[in-house]
Amino acid sequence: MNAPLSRRNLIKTVGATALLTQLKRSAAAPGQIAGALGGPRICLEIRANFAAGGPDEESMRRVRQLGVEHVLTGGPPIPWDEKQLRTLMDRLKSGGLTLGNLMIGEFPNTLYGRPGRDEEIDKVRQSIRAAGAAGLPVVEYNFYAHRLVEGYCEEKGRAGAGLTAFDYDRVKNLPPLPTEGAHSLEEMWGNITYFLKAVVPVAEESGVRLALHPNDPPAPLSRGSEQIMGSLAGWKRLIEIVPSKSNGITFDCGVTKELGEDPVEVCRYFGSRDRINHVHFRNVRVERPREKYTEVFLDEGEVDMFGVMKELVRQKYPRLIFPEHPRGLDADRDAPSLKSGYPGGGAYTGYAFNVGYTRAMLQAAQGR
């Protein structure tokens, strides 16, 4: 005879069911990366190599050996073609990888409001339609009048590891480049408003989210040009130009701290509005906001990295997290083919550190 369903027996039954559910979940955990059960997905960058139909086997294997299943890369010349994108995505799929973000560019006339921007914007719209048709969820882009990379230099970190520093005093008096000119803040706002009103409706129709990366470095002036995404006020203004989930940002917690802002609070602001369409996960030490700072290892800067991750998990953010800008380690310096594009930057070994740290943050935030 079955025991009567008393309050005590009910509690035991519910408890046993919860325990069984947890055991089943734990049994499924080995071999699964953080994010496989839902939530954020850790990603890495991979060279697209469109001429060869996609990345080579070694490149894909390196990514998968780190337990990463999602990648991003730079797109081909615009306009993109659906078949071209599907070829790349199928190639990545054969290596166990999913393409989740493609960077678009090559529209200088649009940036500067010059003749020919309508033709460029039409190519961008064609590209977004191709991305949607191929099933690509996010297209990322920049809108720099100039990126002041001239201010980067290498610093030495722990045991001689490479760090990337920025010092505005070294470059604040650099003149505008003849090919770019100098552009005011309102001029640049006018240019991006024109762009967004033309492309966001197409992105909505295509099921694609656009992610604008903030100005980095966010210096007050970049060779004479002001920067629309060089302040938190600018980030907030951007998403109001065209109210749409397709008009979002790349939330970079490192750049947020470079601005002197609280990354957790900023993450909450944009996440609550569902406008975080991509995430860059990195750490910095700031001496003067916007002007002097050092990009450091994920575990030693001023950003509350776990706080950011907990906020993303709380929001149920479902897209990619890129633990970018690996630090320069000796193991990477000994492999010339894996050099970084940043002073003091690293490559594969540095990425292995970043991925491991980010995965630990994610698993802890998910309570796993």
CA-closest candidate to residue 217, choices 143, 326, 290: 290
Q: Residue 5 has what pLDDT? A: 40
CA-closest candidate to residue 153, choices 295, 253, 258: 295
The mean-pLDDT minimum among 21-30, 92-101, 211-220, 295-304 falls in 21-30
What letter does residue 172 receive in the DSSP assignment? T
Q: Which long-range contacts (CB under 8 A, 24 or more apart) does 59-66 make?
A: 60/92, 60/95, 60/96, 60/97, 61/95, 62/348, 63/95, 63/97, 64/95, 64/96, 64/97, 66/351, 66/352, 66/355
Q: Residue 368 has what pLDDT? A: 79
Q: Residue 11 has what pLDDT? A: 36
Q: Residue 166 has what pLDDT? A: 98
Q: Residue 58 has what pLDDT? A: 95
Q: Is residue 336 reached through a cis peptide bond, with omega within 30 degrees of 0 on the bond before it?
A: no
What confidence tens digit (pLDDT) does each residue in 32-60 have?
444 445 689 999 999 999 988 899 999 99
What phi and psi values does residue 178 have, to the nearest 5 degrees?
-55, -35
What confidence tens digit (pLDDT) does each residue in 99-155 have?
999 999 999 999 999 999 999 999 999 999 999 999 999 999 999 999 999 999 999
pLDDT, average across residues 175-202: 97
pLDDT, average across residues 58-63: 96
193 pLDDT higher than 90: yes
pLDDT, average across residues 342-354: 95
- Calculate the average pLDDT of the chain: 91
The percentage of the chain sitting over the pLDDT mark of 90, rounded to a whole number, equals 85
Q: Residue 10 has what pLDDT? A: 36
Query: What does the alpha-carbon distance between residue 55 and residue 337 come to, in Å, rounded to a whole number?
Result: 15
What confidence tens digit (pLDDT) does each residue in 113-127 have?
999 999 999 999 999
What residue has token string 């520093």?
Answer: 165
Q: What is the 3-state secondary structure (H, E, C) of 39-79?
A: CCEEEEECCCCHHHCCCCHHHHHHHHHCCCCEEEEECCCCC
Query: What does the alpha-carbon distance between residue 140 and residue 290 come to, in Å, rounded to a whole number?
Result: 23
Q: Residue 338 has what pLDDT? A: 65
CA angle 136, 80, 206 (to 5 degrees): 45
CB 50 within 8 A of CB 59: no
For the chain, give the number of residues.
Answer: 368
Q: Residue 206 has what pLDDT? A: 98
What confidence tens digit (pLDDT) does each residue in 152-187 have?
999 999 999 999 999 999 999 999 999 999 999 999
The mean-pLDDT minimum among 9-18, 48-57, 141-150, 262-271 falls in 9-18
Secondary structure of residue 228 in the 3-state scheme: coil
Q: What amino acid is encoded at 219 in this protein?
A: A
Query: What does the alpha-carbon distance between residue 355 and residue 316 come to, in Å, rounded to a whole number?
Result: 20
Q: Residue 337 has what pLDDT? A: 65
pLDDT, average across residues 85-91: 97
Query: What does the alpha-carbon distance between residue 84 and residue 90 come to, in Å, rounded to a whole number?
Result: 10
52, burial (CB in 10 Å: exposed 0-12, middle 13-18, buried 19+): exposed
What confidence tens digit (pLDDT) does each residue in 235-248 have?
999 999 999 999 99
17 pLDDT higher than 60: no
